[in-house]
Amino acid sequence: MKNYKRLSVSIAFAMVALLFGCKRTVYQRDNPNSLKEVFKDDFFIGTALNINQINKKDAATDSLISIQFNAITAENIMKAKLIHPTWGQFDFDAADKFVEYGKLKDMYIVGHTLIWHSQLPPFVQAITDADSLRQFMELHIHTIGQRYASSVDSWDVVNEALNEDGSWRESVFYELLGEEYIVEAFRKAAEAAPNAALYYNDYNIEQSQKRAGVIRLIKKLQEAGVRIDGVGIQGHWNINNLQLDAIEESIQEYAKLGVKVAITELDLSVLPNPWDLQGADVNQQFKGGLNMDPYADQLPDSVGRLLADSYEQLFRLFLKHRDKISRVTFWGTNDSQSWLNNWPIVGRTNYPLLFDRNNHPKEAFYRIISIKNNLD
Query: Catalytic residue positions?
Result: 160, 265
- The rounded distance, in Å, linking the Cα atoms of 347 and 370 is 33
Q: Of residues 217-256, which lie at the interface with ligand XIL (CB under 6 A)?
A: 234
Count of residues near ligand XIL by CB under 6 A: 8
Of residues 203 and 254, the one with the C-beta less far from ligand XIL: 203
260-269 and 230-233 beta bridge pairing: parallel
Of residues 33 and 50, the one with the C-beta less far from ligand XIL: 50
The reply on whether position 76 binds ligand XIL by CB under 6 A is yes
Of residues 186 and 308, the one with the C-beta less far from ligand XIL: 186
User: How far apart are CB 156 and ligand XIL at their closest, in Å?
Assistant: 7
71-74 and 230-233 beta bridge pairing: unpaired
Of residues 32 and 288, the one with the C-beta less far from ligand XIL: 288
Residue nearest to ligand XIL (CB): 339
Contact characters 95-124, ligand XIL, x per CB under 6 A = ------------------------------
User: How far apart are CB 75 and ligand XIL at their closest, in Å?
Assistant: 5
At residue 13, what are phi and psi to the nearest 5 degrees? -60, -45
Q: Virtual CA dihedral for 182, 183, 189, 192, nearest 10 degrees?
A: -140
Q: How many CB atoms lie within 10 A of CB 26?
A: 10
Instruction: Return the SS3 of 292.
Output: helix
Within the chain, residue ranges assigned H as helices are 2-28, 35-38, 51-54, 59-68, 80-83, 93-104, 122-125, 130-147, 172-177, 180-192, 208-223, 244-256, 301-320, 363-375
- The rounded distance, in Å, linking the Cα atoms of 186 and 178 is 15
The maximal CA–CA distance of the chain, rounded, in angstroms, is 97
Q: Of residues 295-354, which lie at the interface with ligand XIL (CB under 6 A)?
A: 339
User: How far apart are CB 119 and ligand XIL at their closest, in Å?
Assistant: 7
The reply on whether position 292 binds ligand XIL by CB under 6 A is no
Q: Of residues 138-177, which lie at the interface with ligand XIL (CB under 6 A)?
A: 159
User: How far apart are CB 113 and ligand XIL at their closest, in Å?
Assistant: 6
User: How far apart are CB 282 and ligand XIL at their closest, in Å?
Assistant: 4
For ligand XIL, which residue of 71, 262, 271, 280 counts as binding (CB under 6 A)? 280
Long-range Cβ contacts of 243-248 (<8 Å, 24+ apart): 243/206, 243/207, 244/313, 244/314, 244/317, 246/206, 246/207, 246/208, 246/211, 247/206, 247/314, 247/317, 248/317, 248/320, 248/321
For ligand XIL, which residue of 282, 303, 306, 317 counts as binding (CB under 6 A)? 282
- The rounded distance, in Å, linking the Cα atoms of 316 and 318 is 6
CB 322 within 8 A of CB 42: yes
User: How far apart are CB 294 and ligand XIL at their closest, in Å?
Assistant: 22
The reply on whether position 82 binds ligand XIL by CB under 6 A is no
Of residues 222 and 273, the one with the C-beta less far from ligand XIL: 273
For ligand XIL, which residue of 75, 229, 253, 267 counts as binding (CB under 6 A)? 75
The residues that touch ligand XIL, with contacts defined as CB under 6 A, are 75-76, 159, 234, 265, 280, 282, 339
